[in-house]
Amino acid sequence: MGKGYSAAIASNPYIVGSFACIGGGLFGLDISSMSGVLDNPSYLDEFNHPTAGPQGTMVAAIPCSSLIGALLVSKLADVLGRKKTILISGWIWVIGAILQCVAQNRVMLVVGRIIGGLAVGIASTTIPLYQSEITAPAIRGRMVSLQQWSITWGIMLQYFVQFGCSYINGKASFRIPWGLQAIPAIILSIGMLWFPESPRWLIDNNREEEALEILADVHGRGDKNNELVQLEFNEIKNQVTFERTEGAKSYRDLVRPGVSPRVFLGMSLQAWSQLSSMNIMMYYITCVFQGAGITGRRGNLIASSVQYVLNVGFTVPAILYIDKWGRRPMMMIGFSLMAMWLFLVGNLQGGFGHWDRSDPANSVWIITGHDGITKAIIVFSYLFVCSFAIAVGPTSWTYPAEIFPMRVRAKAVSLSTASNWAFNTAHALAVPPGLANIGFVTRPGYHCQEPKRGGAS
């Protein structure tokens, strides 16, 4: 089996461990596929100028169905295998992307996003599992943290596609970016055909010879007698035997003494990675800067693009040094810095902003006539994103995959990831009405609206 892989793939665990991360990028594509169109006049005209409630529903469709996809994984990945599950998630995403691209109304758009969300939920749960099972322990943390980096790349690339298409007049300005989302998923689904299955899954399904051959290709340059290969093979066999005899039979095992505190930690970390307001900065960044006082759609898009570049760049140090810095210090420092930047932005918005009720249908909390305050809010928002990228983002995926006892790991990781999507959904639904009604108290105080005629540049 292993002889069918190219020599480069077979001998390079980084390639094997990182290719599947394309699946992580699908969630990133979704985030900026909406943030880039929220103030697009063609999008607003096509979907009848959605108010806060409908817009929140359209945004929340993907994280809501991702929750379902994440819960399905614990069964799907065990039956079909990690490789096939990732491959299938790619084709599901393609179907969702096509439906979004050709959507003629809100319902069709939501259905396309629901289908895409199933793919994201399946991929986001299976990929860290696949990476942790096919890479050596020495690089495992680094490989799993690539999941977060791939999300940042998806966000940035899709945003710049949106920015480029903003110069196109008409519906193509948002339909082209939505359609192009299918390309990475096609690459993922086709490319995974040449990548190995998880050795752990093969051993669990009594295919030990295939598992040993894959371990030799990935960790021992084809040598089955390599010391590391034999050590990994025997360790996996022992783990599988243990799980068969002592493993969790249902989700009720997760509330047993000694296990429930770890489950709480994993779910809490994933929940607070969403409640930190990071995804407001991803989904609604153009609205954030509009409320801060930036005028002109193109100027807003340019200012917003900087944060996506920073998000990608500041994730790199975390990938390189996560195993050296430690998960707990990174989380403590990262969340503390994020709280500080939020505090500063919120106070500036509250102190210098005001309600603009010139349009009764679209009340806006906005800053006008304070150029220095506008720039300060933008800088603090950038620093907020950097603090997340270098600390909280990578650890939010790595830590939950490492803290659970072997007998409950699969179910506990699935539940932790489901927590991520549950709070992501709640955030996406609640934020637009919150911004429209309580202004800067939401974070940091804005409501996205269509630019007034003549105001775009």
pLDDT digits (tens, 9 = 90+) for 206-243: 999 999 988 888 887 778 888 888 988 998 898 888 77
pLDDT at 48 over 70: yes
pLDDT digits (tens, 9 = 90+) for 89-135: 999 999 999 999 999 999 999 999 999 999 988 988 888 888 888 88
Mean pLDDT of 359-373: 75
Strongest mean pLDDT among 181-190, 340-349, 358-367, 393-402: 181-190
Residue 356: enclosing H or E segment and its boundaries?
strand 354-356
Task: With beta carbons less than 8 A apart as the criterion, state whether 451 and 440 touch.
Answer: no
Confidence tier at 352 by pLDDT (50, 70, 90) = confident
pLDDT value at residue 440: 66
Q: Where are the alpha helices (DSSP H) in 353-408?
A: 371-387, 393-398
Q: What is the dihedral angle through the alpha carbons of 116, 122, 128, 134, rounded to the nearest 10 degrees?
A: -120
Do the Cβ atoms of 39 and 297 come closer than 8 Å? yes
| Residue 182's pLDDT band (cuts 50, 70, 90) | very high
Q: How far is CA 25 from CA 194, 397, 432, in A?
A: 20, 14, 25
pLDDT value of position 1: 43
| pLDDT score of 155 more than 90 | no
Query: pLDDT tens digit string along 267-297?
Result: 998 888 888 878 777 777 777 777 777 776 6
Pairwise CA distance, residues 136 & 149, whole Å = 20
Report how far residue 409's alpha carbon sits from residue 401's, in angstroms, rounded to the nearest whole number: 7
The whole-number pLDDT of residue 447 equals 44
**Least confident residue range of 155-159, 349-353, 410-414:** 410-414
User: Whole-number mean pLDDT of the chain?
Assistant: 82
pLDDT for the residue 445: 41
Comparing 335 with 457, which gets the higher pLDDT?
335
- The continuous run of DSSP H or E covering 350 comes out as helix 327-352
